[in-house]
Every structure is written in structure tokens, then in C-alpha cells.
């Protein structure tokens, strides 16, 4: 699995989990949802993603985006 697919899967899982936690536990979890969204937005413009850097160091195969 390429770095892009892992990043998208982790981001999607974080958004879903934090949305469920916001609905069931506390609306404060929406701050985490917003953080993930902002990180995805800035990575679209800059090409920098902290998770992608970590995955590269772990030896995962890079794709075209990162």
C-alpha cells in the first residue's frame, strides 16, 4: 500500500471516529475533526504531510503526491 493510500485511510478513520465521538461523548471532539481537515487542506497546497514523512522513514513506498 502506498503512502497516499495510508494517509487517506488514516485521515478518513480519524474523521469518522472523531465525528462519532462528537455525537456520543462531547462536541469538543469536533476540534479534532477540524484539525484533520485543516491538515488535509494544507497538505493539498504544500505537499507536506507529517504522517507521510513518518511513513517514508519507516520505508513505505511513496506514490506521486508525497
Domain ranges (residues) in the chain: 3-57
Q: Which three cell numbers stand for residue 51?
A: 504522517
Of 44, 66, 41, 40, the C-alpha closest to 55 is 66
Q: Which three cell numbers stand for residue 6?
A: 495510508
What are the mean pLDDT values of the chain's consecutive 10-residue runs (66 residues total)?
92 96 96 95 92 94 75
Q: What are phi and psi of 18, to 5 degrees?
A: -70, -30
Please tell me the pTM assigned to this model: 0.84
Looking at residue 66, its pLDDT comes to 54
Amino acid at each position: 500500500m502506498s503512502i497516499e493510500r495510508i494517509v487517506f485511510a488514516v485521515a478518513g478513520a480519524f474523521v469518522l471516529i472523531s465525528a462519532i465521538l462528537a455525537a456520543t461523548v462531547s462536541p469538543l471532539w469536533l476540534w479534532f475533526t477540524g484539525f484533520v481537515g485543516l491538515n488535509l487542506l494544507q497538505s493539498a497546497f504544500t505537499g507536506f504531510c507529517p504522517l507521510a514523512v513518518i511513513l517514508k522513514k519507516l520505508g513505505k513506498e511513496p506514490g506521486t503526491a508525497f
